[in-house]
Amino acid sequence: MARHLITSALPYINGIKHLGNMVGSMLPADVYSRYLRQRGHDVLYICATDEHGTPAELAAKDAGLPVADYCAQQHDAQRAIYDGFGLAFDYFGRSSSPQNIEITQRFARRLHENGFIEQRAIRQVFSLADDRFLPDRYIVGTCPHCGYDKARGDQCENCTRVLDPTDLIEPRSAISGSAELEVRETKHLFLLQSKLAAEVEAWIDLVAEEWPTLSSSIARKWLTEGLHDRAITRDLDWGVPVPADVWPELAAEGKVFYVWFDAPIEYIGATKEWAEAAPDEARDWKSWWYEADDVRYTQFMGKDNVPFHTVMFPATQIGTREPWKRVDYVKGFNWLNYYGGKFSTSQRRGIFTGDALEILPADYWRYFMMANAPESDDTSFSWELFSSVVNKDLADTLGNFVNRVLSFSRKRFGDAVPAGSAPGEAEEKLGEQIAELLAEYEGHLEALQFRKAAAALRALWSAGNSYLEEKAPWLEIKTDQDGAALTLRTAMNLIHLYAVVSEPFIPSSAKAMRAAFALPDDTATWVTAEEARALAWVPAGTGFTVPPVLFAKITDEDLDAYRTRFGGEEAAEAAPAAE
């Protein structure tokens, strides 16, 4: 059985993330990790805050804090929110860690030794007003491809095209806003991707056939357009320093590595952080990354991150000539939009994760986002759609089933699971149906098809409601008490099954459902087909309680309040449309 290494794109340190960031990386990675753990796999889920680069420095400047203090503060704030969403990272690290600095510098040394890093004199934008060279992200202007007027010098947020600062129309400093810019000569390190292009292409040909079309097409597009040498150092005060033993002149000038050079290496750095965080445990970080032939590595990210993870980072790994583990499967996501306009961290547009948890519990958001995950196309959040999904799927289909089964049974049979008669034709039919739906659910999760998995999970919940409507124990009890007891006992076993298999999507609610039954020896981690057919985990006589309402319906008054706070369609009118 393979060990599963799972990473999600590192969230930038510059502020609390929006729902689009969550659904495109960390949440699906968590769902998949939870599922694999329940199936008995050895899983390591690693993430971290991405703390280097221009966004960190600019955000710290706006906050009036030293960048190191700002990053430490924001790391804790982000981690608290991810805990609130139930994200079960094995470790949530920091790209500014000593471990990442060490490994990033090691990568640079190996690439240099192998002839894949070259020092070059280049002409770079210098801001007269700021008296400094400007890294790509410190320059903003109009994108020449889509006309977006807030494009950065490295990439357009709107159309995702990779840019050079000189591509921008009417460029200006992101620090001062000054357009007094000139080009001067300076020295930087370049990763010679052109020398690695053939090897990267051969590797992609080998592994990308099973990737989603979104991921493979973006990678091949970059290769088709030509893999160019790329500057991997910047003029910043905060970052992984260029090692002085190799490049003393650049180190003396304070050059640091480009954030997209060190950020993917932090997956390895964070694994080393994880190992060293528990010195009393036998944690071998290197076995997950170095000569790790028994590891299956899956990455989760939004489409704007795909090029760097499928081309630049693999080129970096290949160029070290060391056996670092490369990704096996890249699960790329499209955009989750807000009424057709893009969510934006920098422009505070849309619903942010901290605000989401203030108004509703995490499971509402987790289920909605996965049921509407932007896998094949961009999808659009609206409060109307959100309330419809919550009310129909969570409140009516699952929550109401749990409440009415347990409440009715307690009212008519007391606080223990009733015995009743032996299972009959209806129960046999239900068991077969549940086994089939469970297999479908498992298949979609194995294939990382989250919308389909959510639909299969909803179908499992619906099957219980159909059974309950067919048997109608509220009528059955008038003429056949043992038959009604059987119906309720079967339905309670469905609740237990739902608790087990729903855990990847709605962990808190799953825990509440499971805790309703007094089963101290309950160690079930998953459900086999045979167990699904039998529906017999919760025996007659088991004590139970009725949990509080699992999912409260969203009312029209709630909707009005949410629209007032966050805006509706009008909130997206000024937003740039997704590509």
Q: What is the mean pLDDT of residues 183-196?
A: 95
Q: Mean pLDDT for the chain?
A: 94
pLDDT of residue 346: 57
Instruction: Please write the tens of the pLDDT for every residue from 518-535.
Output: 999 999 999 999 999 999
Q: pLDDT at residue 574 above 60? A: no
Q: What is the mean pLDDT of residues 425-442?
A: 97
Which tokens sit at 192?
A: 């010679």
pLDDT of residue 577: 45
Domains delineated in the chain: 3-106+261-380 (3.40.50.620), 114-252 (2.170.220.10), 382-534 (1.10.730.10)
8 A C-beta contact, residue 327 and residue 275: no
pLDDT of residue 347: 62
d(CA 474, CA 472) in angstroms, rounded, equals 5
pLDDT of residue 570: 59
pLDDT of residue 345: 58
Q: How confident is the model at residue 569 (pLDDT cuts 50, 70, 90)?
A: low
Which tokens sit at 61?
A: 């400047």
- CA 366 centroid distance within chain: 11
The residue ranking higher by pLDDT, 155 or 545, is 545
Residues comprising the chain, all counted: 579
Q: Is 156 annotated as a binding residue?
A: yes
Q: pLDDT at residue 203 above 90? A: yes
- In degrees rounded to 5, what are phi and psi of residue 202? -65, -40
pLDDT of residue 576: 46
- Return the closest-CA partner of residue 331 out of 309, 349, 346, 312: 309
CA 403 to each of CA 159, 398, 406: distance values in angstroms, whole numbers, following the listed order: 47, 9, 5
Q: pLDDT at residue 175 above 50? A: yes
Percent of the chain with pLDDT over 70: 97
Q: What is the mean pLDDT of residues 554-576?
A: 77
Instruction: Please write the tens of the pLDDT for every residue from 14-51.
Output: 889 999 999 999 999 999 999 999 999 999 999 999 99
| 120 C-beta neighbours (distance < 10 Å), count | 11
Q: At what angle do helices 481-501 and 400-413 cross, to 10 degrees?
A: 140
Q: Is 159 annotated as a binding residue?
A: yes
User: SS3 of 293, please?
Assistant: coil
Q: What is the mean pLDDT of residues 241-263?
A: 95
Q: What is the mean pLDDT of residues 320-349?
A: 87
pLDDT of residue 57: 86
Which tokens sit at 561?
A: 């309040």
| 557 C-beta neighbours (distance < 10 Å), count | 8
SS3 helix, strand, coil % of the chain, rounded to 5?
50, 15, 35
User: SS3 of 536, please?
Assistant: coil
pLDDT of residue 575: 47
Q: Is 71 annotated as a binding residue?
A: no
- In degrees rounded to 5, what are phi and psi of residue 86? 75, 25
Instruction: Please write the tens of the pLDDT for every residue from 277-312.
Output: 987 787 999 999 999 999 999 999 999 999 999 999
pLDDT of residue 58: 82
Q: How confident is the model at residue 52 (pLDDT cuts 50, 70, 90)?
A: very high
Q: pLDDT at residue 579 above 50? A: no
Identify the burial level of 177 via C-beta atoms within 10 angstroms of its C-beta, where 0-12 means exposed, 13-18 middle and 19 or more buried.
exposed
8 A C-beta contact, residue 379 and residue 337: yes
Place of tokens 């170095």: 290
Q: How confident is the model at residue 357 (pLDDT cuts 50, 70, 90)?
A: very high
d(CA 106, CA 313) in angstroms, rounded, equals 14
